[in-house]
């Protein structure tokens, strides 16, 4: 892994060097199997009357924890430009992009660009190196030390990404309102929603697509995520019966994904759905941008737990209180991707 990072070339560099087989570091522990079942993501038209939109958001956050939104107010051009900017950044010649490559294991910068290693769950194969996903990611932490230093964003995509983030912040407020209204609680209940992390993923084409993961299975950690993807495809969700199904890209739509923290706060009224990305193409690269809406309060004494309004005699609290840091630490102890990472905080039912 060390040598791989030292090349500063990312997965894109491997592909450019002409690899015809996937290096062991990237081979998925078990080849991802896709169910042939067709699955269409539920959709909410945000131009519907607010009360109607809230009913739909509630229904889909409860049944799946993931849905798409249309008429969301973000101009299609802004989404397309952001996706294009990420593609262009990653497709620059090696010399231009490699100077941004971040080699430190736990880089604490506001902006990083790397093939991020995602550790395997420790109980899986403790002795093996982390599984690397077939992607290179530009990460921008807008809540970094409360003082986002956007100068770290590569100039060629800076303005476009800042514009996109600005548009998405308004959408984020709208979505947060609807999600909270769907729980029957006031929009102010989560406090400020300021923290956000932008993960811009570039999934290069793969010589052996069936052997890698573009993103290994996981649930998102925060309150919710808004995801934009291009038309290539590869995103999958795991249905209740365990089948992995494709989420076909819909032009113009954005995806909303409930995160673990909102699941906790909702006292299990909402789900956080497991998802992953598989590689679909030997020819085409895929680009996606995930904007994570995380709590702005992440100090040692900022506790989150099921909202008291949602705790009743019939439905006692399902989780003990936790801080954002505890949540993230627990996830990384388990290897980030462990879908049951919330079990650690769960109060057993008598």
Residues that bind ligand AKG (CB under 6 A): 199, 201, 215, 220, 227, 229, 235, 275, 277, 288, 290
Q: Which is nearer to ligand AKG, 54 or 285 (CB)?
A: 285
Q: Which is nearer to Fe ion, 220 or 260 (CB)?
A: 220
Please give the residue whose beta carbon sits closest to Fe ion in the complex.
220
Residue 227's binding partner, choosing from ligand AKG, Fe ion, none, with beta-carbon cut-off 5 to 8 A by kind? ligand AKG
CB 185 within 8 A of CB 262: no
Stretch that binds Fe ion, among 24-32, 40-48, 220-228, 312-320 (CB under 5 A): 220-228
Check binding of 260 to Fe ion (CB under 5 A).
Answer: no
Q: Which of 75, 90, 288 is nearest to 166 (CA)?
A: 75
Residue 334's binding partner, choosing from Fe ion, ligand AKG, none, with beta-carbon cut-off 5 to 8 A by kind? none
Distance CA 339, CA 159 (A): 35
Residue 229's binding partner, choosing from Fe ion, ligand AKG, none, with beta-carbon cut-off 5 to 8 A by kind? ligand AKG
Angle formed at CA 84 by CA 78 and CA 86, multiple of 5 degrees = 110
Q: Which is nearer to ligand AKG, 227 or 254 (CB)?
A: 227
Q: State the minimum distance, in angstroms, from the CB of residue 301 to ligand AKG.
A: 28
Q: Which is nearer to ligand AKG, 9 or 228 (CB)?
A: 228
**Contact pattern for Fe ion over residues 273 through 292, marking x by CB under 5 A:** --------------------
Q: State the minimum distance, in angstroms, from the CB of residue 229 to ligand AKG.
A: 5
Please give the residue whose beta carbon sits closest to ligand AKG in the complex.
288
Sole residue written with tokens 């956080």: 272
Q: Which is nearer to ligand AKG, 190 or 197 (CB)?
A: 197
Distance CA 116, CA 130 (A): 10
How far CA 324 is from CA of 133, 193, 273, 283, 303, in Å, comes to 25, 13, 19, 40, 8
Out of 136, 220, 230, 260, the residue judged to bind Fe ion by CB under 5 A: 220
Residue 235's binding partner, choosing from ligand AKG, Fe ion, none, with beta-carbon cut-off 5 to 8 A by kind? ligand AKG
Q: State the minimum distance, in angstroms, from the CB of residue 322 to ligand AKG.
A: 20
Q: Is 311 helix (H, G, I), strand (E, B) or coil?
A: coil
Q: State the minimum distance, in angstroms, from the CB of residue 174 to ligand AKG.
A: 21
Angle formed at CA 276 by CA 25 and CA 10, multiple of 5 degrees = 40
Structure-derived torsion over alpha carbons of residues 50, 254, 117, 115, reported in degrees to the nearest 10: -140
Neighbouring C-alpha atoms within 13 Å toward the C-beta of 56: 19
Per-residue burial over 68-98, b if 16 or more Cβ lie within 10 Å, else e, is bbeebebeeebbebbbebbbebbeeebeebb
CB 252 within 8 A of CB 324: no
Distance CA 164, CA 232 (A): 20
Instruction: Give the 3-state secondary structure of 217-260.
Output: EECCCCCEEEEEECCCCCEEEECCCCCEEECCCCCCCEEEEECH
Q: Which is nearer to ligand AKG, 275 or 318 (CB)?
A: 275
Residue 136's binding partner, choosing from ligand AKG, Fe ion, none, with beta-carbon cut-off 5 to 8 A by kind? none
Q: State the minimum distance, in angstroms, from the CB of residue 257 to Fe ion.
A: 6
Stretch that binds Fe ion, among 131-139, 149-157, 203-211, 215-223 (CB under 5 A): 215-223
Interface with Fe ion (CB under 5 A): 220
């Amino acid at each position: 892994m060390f040598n791989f990072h030292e090349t500063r070339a990312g997965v894109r560099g491997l592909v450019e060097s002409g690899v015809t087989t996937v290096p062991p570091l990237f081979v998925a522990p078990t080849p991802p199997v896709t169910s042939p079942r067709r699955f269409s993501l539920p959709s909410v038209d945000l131009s519907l009357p607010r009360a109607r939109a809230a009913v739909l958001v509630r229904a889909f956050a409860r049944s799946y924890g993931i849905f798409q939104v249309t008429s969301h107010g973000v101009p299609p051009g802004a989404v397309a430009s952001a996706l294009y900017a990420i593609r262009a950044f990653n497709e620059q010649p090696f010399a231009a992009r490699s100077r941004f490559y971040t080699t430190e294991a736990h880089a604490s910068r506001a902006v990083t660009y790397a093939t991020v290693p995602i550790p395997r769950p420790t109980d899986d194969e403790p002795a093996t190196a982390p599984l690397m996903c077939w992607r290179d990611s530009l990460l921008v932490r807008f809540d970094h030390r409360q003082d986002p230093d956007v100068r770290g964003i590569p100039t060629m995509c800076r303005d476009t990404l800042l514009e996109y983030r600005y548009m998405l912040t308004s959408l984020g407020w709208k979505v947060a309102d609807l999600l909270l209204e769907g729980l029957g609680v006031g929009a102010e209940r989560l406090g400020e929603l300021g923290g956000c992390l932008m993960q811009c993923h570039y999934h290069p084409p793969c010589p052996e697509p069936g052997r890698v993961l573009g993103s290994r299975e996981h649930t998102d950690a925060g309150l919710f995520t808004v995801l934009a993807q291009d038309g290539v495809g590869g995103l999958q969700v795991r249905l209740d019966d365990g089948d992995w199904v494709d989420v076909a890209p819909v032009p113009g739509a954005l995806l909303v994904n409930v995160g673990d923290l909102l699941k906790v706060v909702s006292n299990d009224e909402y789900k956080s759905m497991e998802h992953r990305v598989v590689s679909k193409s030997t020819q085409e690269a895929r680009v996606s941008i995930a904007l994570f809406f995380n709590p702005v309060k992440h100090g040692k004494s900022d506790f989150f737990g099921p909202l008291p309004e949602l705790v009743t005699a019939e439905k006692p609290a399902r989780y003990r209180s936790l801080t954002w840091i505890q949540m993230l630490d627990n996830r990384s102890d388990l290897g980030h991707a462990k879908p049951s990472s919330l079990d650690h905080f769960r109060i057993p039912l008598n």
